[in-house]
């Protein structure tokens, strides 16, 4: 702990939230920081490590070995999340979240203690959804950097839970359903566009406990890094910057976008390239509902029949547990044969590679934030079917604010195969107006590209963060020596 840090590179211990949508940007942020002179010790859970190794035959004990060979100083460790490695976290979601809430921090604390005893460490970088980072950072006299992997709009809704409570839009008996116009930096938002957890009447679940505790803890962070860009969420970000050290540093992608030297997929990836190569430009719909959320059997059936009715070519990523780990064949009987001549149905794929292929013309998506950023980066308009958590708020940004996509369903209406088919054709067919979405997504794509260029807003924000962090490290060192 008393090892001198003066004139050394900043050393960050980086702890990723153990869900694929959080691990991916965390890995790439770690690489970005190492490329800018950081030493990084990256910590995954045993379960995430094992699942990653199962998904990549070439992955060894050290997922960052290839990065280190390129000259970057990233060390790699794993810790228990409090559950057996083979435990089905998808099927037993609440137990998994409960373990992250109550048990995981003890394993993290033990790992951090071992590192700081032998090495000079300057900061702890941890996902905002963890409930303990400020306490662990304080115990070991480290600066705390919170990493938020979702848009600033979602961050500020959680950050202002107290305002939502006071104004009876959350966590009260007589919930208001009118528009919310009092969150700093957010002109107005409808309750149905808040995250799923903020729309629920039962606020006692383990996920609500995590959100509440995490957003108390993040108020003690020294810095907050957000995977978004200033130009897309300017008012929201500016309002947050008046309250906390908040930096918009996104989109956080690997340097080559489609190529990553660190494996992050939790499942083996099917290669769709040859099939896509045989299809005309912008003729294929890509369908994926992400790595985490589940779809009901009835909704999946309507989507399947809608895809069949639409007549379009499509790639469908159908995760083995998309309905449930216990549901071995979620598709309607005979569906695979019915669409065999114009479809490719796979358990998982390399999403960035697929979206970047010129044959892709649209993306039927759950609106996970990584998917939104990746699709926009590739100039692919979206057909939105949010399922859980931030996806409802992300949908608002996509459809209403940026106008780069359309809704699969209206409000809380049940989806039907006819509606699915009609919306797919509207998104994919240039004659029916898809050109306007392609033009809009091209504009947003340029904003993303400009942000990460040298002297772009995200590049400057990252440099400013590093400068501010180094000032804080020097200040902390002086405080120790006085």
Tens digits of residue pLDDT in 50-76: 999 998 877 678 999 999 999 999 999
> Homologous superfamily of 273-432 in CATH?
Glycogen Phosphorylase B; (3.40.50.2000)
CA pair distance 54, 44, nearest whole angstrom: 15
CA-closest candidate to residue 217, choices 144, 150, 149: 144
431/40: higher pLDDT = 40
Cross-strand partners of 314: 285, 343
3-state DSSP call for residue 78? Answer: strand
Which one, of 16, 21, 19, 18, lies nearest residue 365 by Cα? 21
pLDDT at residue 43 is higher than 60: yes
Give percent of the chain above pLDDT 90: 86
For the purposes of burial, counting CB atoms within 10 Å of the CB of 174, is it exposed (0-12), middle (13-18) or buried (19 or more)? exposed
SS (H, E, C) 153-179: HHHHHHHCHHHHHHCCCCCCCCCCCCC
Domain 11-260+453-481 and domain 273-432 have a common topology:
yes
Q: Phi/psi at 115 (nearest 5 deg)?
A: -70, -50
Q: How far apart are CA 381 and CA 106, in angstroms?
A: 43
Residue-level pLDDT at 93: 92
448 pLDDT above the threshold of 60: yes
Tokens of 471: 């000032």
Q: What is the pLDDT of residue 482?
A: 62
Residue 3 is predicted with a pLDDT of: 44
Q: Are 43 and 108 in contact (CB under 8 A)?
A: yes
Q: Looking at residue 175, what is its pLDDT?
A: 93
Of residues 370, 290, 363, the one with CA closest to residue 322: 290
Please, what is the Cα angle at 391 between 401 and 51, to 5 degrees? 140
- Pair of tokens at residue 410: 């209206």
Can you tell me the distance from the alpha carbon of 276 to that of 344, in angstroms, rounded to the nearest whole number?
9
pLDDT of residue 329: 86
* Contact status, residue 239 vs residue 156, Cβ threshold 8 Å: yes
Q: In this predicted model, what pLDDT tens digit does every residue of 363-415 receive, in sequence order?
A: 999 999 999 999 999 999 999 999 999 999 999 999 999 999 999 987 777 89
Which CATH number describes the domain made up of 11-260+453-481? Answer: 3.40.50.2000
What residue ranges do the domains of the chain occupy? Answer: 11-260+453-481, 273-432
How much is the average pLDDT of 229-257? 96
Q: Which residue has the higher pLDDT, 450 or 260?
A: 450
Phi, then psi, of 151 in degrees rounded to 5: -70, 160
- CA-CA-CA-CA torsion for 466, 469, 471, 476, nearest 10 degrees? -160
pLDDT digits (tens, 9 = 90+) for 182-224: 999 999 999 999 999 999 999 999 999 999 999 999 999 999 9
Query: What is the layout of strands, in order, in the sheet containing 405-407?
Result: 343-346, 313-317, 284-288, 360-365, 382-384, 405-407
Residues 6+ apart with CB under 8 A from 134: 144, 217, 218, 220, 221
CA distance 357 to 278: 11
pLDDT (0 to 100) of residue 432: 67
Q: What was the pLDDT predicted at 56?
A: 83
Residues contacting residue 138 through CB under 8 Å, at least 6 positions apart: 144, 220
pLDDT of residue 4: 45
* Residues 189 and 183 sit within 8 Å (Cβ to Cβ): yes
Examine the pLDDT at 454 and tell me if it is beyond 60: yes
Specify the pLDDT at position 7: 54
Q: How far is CA 119 from CA 40, 52, 114, 436, in A?
A: 12, 28, 9, 55
The whole-angstrom separation of Cα 263 and Cα 345 is 22
pLDDT at residue 1 is higher than 60: no
User: What's the pLDDT score for residue 409?
Assistant: 83
Element containing residue 28 per DSSP (H, E):
helix 20-35
At residue 44, the pLDDT reads: 97
Region 289-303: what's the mean pLDDT?
92
Cα 317 to chain center, whole Å? Answer: 18
Q: Phi first, then psi: give them for residue 294, nearest 5 degrees.
A: -110, 155
Supply angle C-alpha 53, 82, 150, rounded to 5.
Answer: 70
Q: Round to whole Å and give the CA distance between 30 and 477.
A: 24
Per-residue pLDDT tens over the stretch 95-131: 999 999 999 999 999 999 999 999 999 999 999 999 9
Q: Please, how many CA atoms are within 13 Å of residue 50, restricted to the half-sphere of its CB?
A: 11
Judged against a pLDDT cut of 80, whether residue 293 lies above it is answered with yes
CA torsion through residues 331, 333, 336, 339, sign: negative
Mean pLDDT on 13-29: 97
pLDDT 10s digits, 126-181: 999 999 999 999 999 999 999 999 999 999 999 999 999 999 999 998 999 999 99
Phi, psi of 77 (to 5 degrees): -140, 160
Q: Could you give the CA distance from residue 304 to residue 316 in angstroms, rounded to a whole number?
A: 10
How far apart are the C-alpha atoms of 319 and 362, rounded to whole Å? Answer: 19
Q: What is the mean pLDDT of the chain?
A: 94
């Amino acid at each position: 702990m008393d090892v001198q840090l003066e004139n050394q590179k900043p050393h960050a211990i980086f702890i990723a939230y153990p869900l694929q949508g959080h691990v991916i940007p965390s890995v790439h942020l770690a690489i970005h920081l190492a490329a800018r002179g950081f030493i990084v010790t990256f910590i995954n859970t045993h379960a995430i490590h094992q699942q990653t190794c199962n998904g990549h035959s070439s992955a060894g004990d050290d997922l960052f070995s290839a990065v280190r060979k390129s000259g970057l100083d990233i060390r790699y460790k794993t810790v228990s999340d409090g559950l057996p490695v083979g435990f089905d976290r998808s099927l037993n979601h609440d137990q998994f979240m409960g373990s992250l809430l109550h048990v995981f921090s003890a394993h993290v604390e033990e790992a951090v203690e071992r590192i700081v005893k032998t090495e000079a460490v300057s900061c702890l970088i941890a996902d905002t959804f963890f409930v303990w980072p400020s306490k662990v950072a304080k115990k070991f006299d480290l600066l705390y950097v919170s990493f938020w992997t979702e848009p600033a709009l979602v961050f500020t809704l959680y950050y202002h839970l107290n305002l939502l409570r006071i104004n009876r839009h959350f966590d009260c008996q007589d919930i208001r359903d009118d528009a919310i116009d009092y969150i700093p930096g957010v002109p107005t938002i409808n309750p149905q566009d808040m995250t799923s957890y903020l729309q629920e009447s039962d606020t006692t679940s383990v996920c609500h406990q995590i959100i509440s505790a995490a957003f108390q803890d993040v108020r003690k962070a020294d810095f907050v890094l957000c995977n978004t860009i200033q130009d897309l969420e300017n008012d929201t970000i500016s309002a947050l910057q008046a309250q906390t050290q908040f930096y918009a540093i996104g989109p956080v992608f690997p340097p080559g976008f489609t190529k990553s030297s660190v494996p992050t997929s939790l499942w083996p990836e099917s290669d769709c390239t040859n099939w896509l190569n045989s299809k005309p430009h912008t003729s294929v719909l890509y369908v994926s509902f992400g790595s985490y959320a589940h779809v009901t059997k009835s909704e999946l059936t309507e989507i399947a029949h809608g895809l069949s009715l639409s007549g379009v070519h499509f790639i469908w990523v159908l995760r083995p547990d998309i309905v449930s780990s216990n549901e071995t064949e979620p598709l309607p009987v005979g569906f695979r044969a019915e669409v065999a001549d114009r479809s490719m149905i796979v358990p998982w794929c390399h999403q960035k590679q697929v979206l970047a292929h010129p044959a892709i013309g649209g993306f039927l998506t759950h609106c996970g934030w990584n998917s939104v950023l990746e699709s926009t980066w590739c100039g692919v308009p979206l057909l939105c079917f949010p399922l859980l958590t931030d996806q409802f708020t992300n949908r608002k940004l996509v459809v209403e604010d940026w106008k780069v996509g359309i809704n699969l369903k209206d409000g809380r209406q049940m989806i039907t195969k006819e509606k699915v088919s009609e919306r797919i054709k509207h998104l994919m067919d240039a004659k029916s107006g898809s050109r306007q979405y392609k033009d809009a997504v091209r504009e947003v794509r340029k904003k993303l590209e400009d942000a990460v260029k040298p002297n772009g807003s995200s590049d400057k924000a990252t440099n400013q963060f590093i400068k501010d962090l180094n000032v804080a490290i020097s200040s902390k060192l002086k405080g120790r020596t006085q």
